[in-house]
């Protein structure tokens, strides 16, 4: 498996992901767990964030300190990526959120773009592409392509579950993109769903 894949080993990710997969988990709990997992995975995906020295005045004097230097944008892939935005905004309240609308054509499994309001020039230095599921990888590959054409230089993918096929495809198309996921599952089935997976993330998140 590609070296830019980071599968979380955090016990809380494992615990919450198990609850998320459970067929008995209802929509409300599914959304809550997805929010919490996004926060934990965002923590891991930002471990190499660039810092600049920044001294601060404490009540006792001056302390050396740091401030995050990179302007961060999160790019949720509609619809299911929306369920990861809240958790990330808790950790990074000032992030820019740029939505990309894609759906998978059910017959071809190819992504079809339907929403993109990115401005003319890039406004961020680090993009976190959010989608709970990396299945064939088509949606992530298309989104990273859109961001690169926009001018984004540093891009990471943050998701909950990946199939080996999706990781390989994303890595082959964009080897510079780090992939952060909660778990690497066994395989894709013949209709492009991750097995054992968690079902259809968008449907479970939005009750459809
Ligand atoms: C699902 C999922 C990902 C995509 C992953 O979305 O949420 O966006 O498929 O598949 P891929 O890696 O093979 O591209 P879907 O097209 O069902 O849209 P939705 O989120 O609106 O339900």
118, two tokens: 């990115």
The residue range of the domain holding 117 is 5-49+69-206
Catalytic residue among 22, 48, 105, 203: 203
Going from the Cα of 57 to the center of ligand 1, the distance in angstroms, rounded, reads 47
Please tell me the total count of domains within the chain: 1
Share of the chain above pLDDT 90, in %: 96
Is the shortest distance between the CB of 201 and ligand 1 below 6 Å? yes
Is the shortest distance between the CB of 163 and ligand 1 below 6 Å? no
Is the shortest distance between the CB of 104 and ligand 1 below 6 Å? yes
Kindly report the CATH number assigned to the domain that includes residue 199: 3.40.50.2020
Q: Coil, helix or strand for 140?
A: helix
Q: What are residue 63's DSSP bridge partners?
A: 56
Domain membership of residue 114 (yes or no) is: yes
Domain membership of residue 202 (yes or no) is: yes
pTM (two decimals)? 0.96
Query: pLDDT tens-digit profile of 164-197?
Result: 999 999 999 999 999 999 999 999 999 999 999 9
Cite the DSSP H helix spans in 103-178: 138-150, 164-173
Domain membership of residue 54 (yes or no) is: no
Catalytic residue among 105, 108, 110, 187: 108
Query: pLDDT tens-digit profile of 102-137?
Result: 998 989 989 999 999 999 999 999 999 999 999 999
**How would you classify the pairing of strands 133-134 and 178-184?**
unpaired
Is the shortest distance between the CB of 164 and ligand 1 below 6 Å? no
- For a substitution probing ligand 1, which of 100, 179, 187, 202 has the most ligand atoms within 8 Å of its CB? 202
Is 104 a residue of the active site?
A: yes
Phi/psi for 105 (5° steps) reads -65, 125
Going from the Cα of 104 to the center of ligand 1, the distance in angstroms, rounded, reads 6
Domain membership of residue 122 (yes or no) is: yes
146 and 176 Cβ atoms separated by less than 8 Å: no
164 and 1 Cβ atoms separated by less than 8 Å: yes
66 and 82 Cβ atoms separated by less than 8 Å: no
């Amino acid at each position: 498996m590609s070296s830019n894949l980071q599968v979380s080993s955090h016990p809380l990710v494992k615990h919450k992901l198990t609850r998320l997969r459970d067929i008995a988990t209802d929509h409300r709990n599914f959304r809550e767990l997805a929010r919490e997992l996004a926060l934990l995975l965002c923590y891991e995906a930002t471990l190499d964030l660039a810092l600049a020295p920044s001294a601060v005045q404490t009540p006792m004097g001056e302390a050396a300190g740091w401030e995050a230097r990179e302007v961060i944008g999160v790019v949720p892939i509609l619809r299911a990526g929306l369920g990861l935005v809240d958790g990330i905004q808790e950790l990074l309240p000032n992030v820019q959120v740029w939505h990309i609308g894609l759906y998978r054509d059910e017959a071809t499994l190819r992504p079809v773009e339907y929403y993109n309001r990115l401005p003319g020039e890039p406004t961020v230095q680090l993009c976190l592409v959010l989608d709970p599921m990396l299945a064939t990888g088509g949606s992530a590959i298309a989104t990273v392509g859109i961001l690169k054409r926009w001018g984004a230089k540093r891009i990471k993918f943050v998701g909950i579950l990946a199939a080996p096929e999706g990781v390989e495809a994303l890595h082959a198309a964009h080897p510079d993109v780090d992939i952060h996921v909660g778990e690497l599952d066994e395989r894709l089935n013949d209709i492009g769903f991750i097995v054992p997976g968690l079902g259809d993330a968008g449907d479970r998140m939005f009750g459809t």
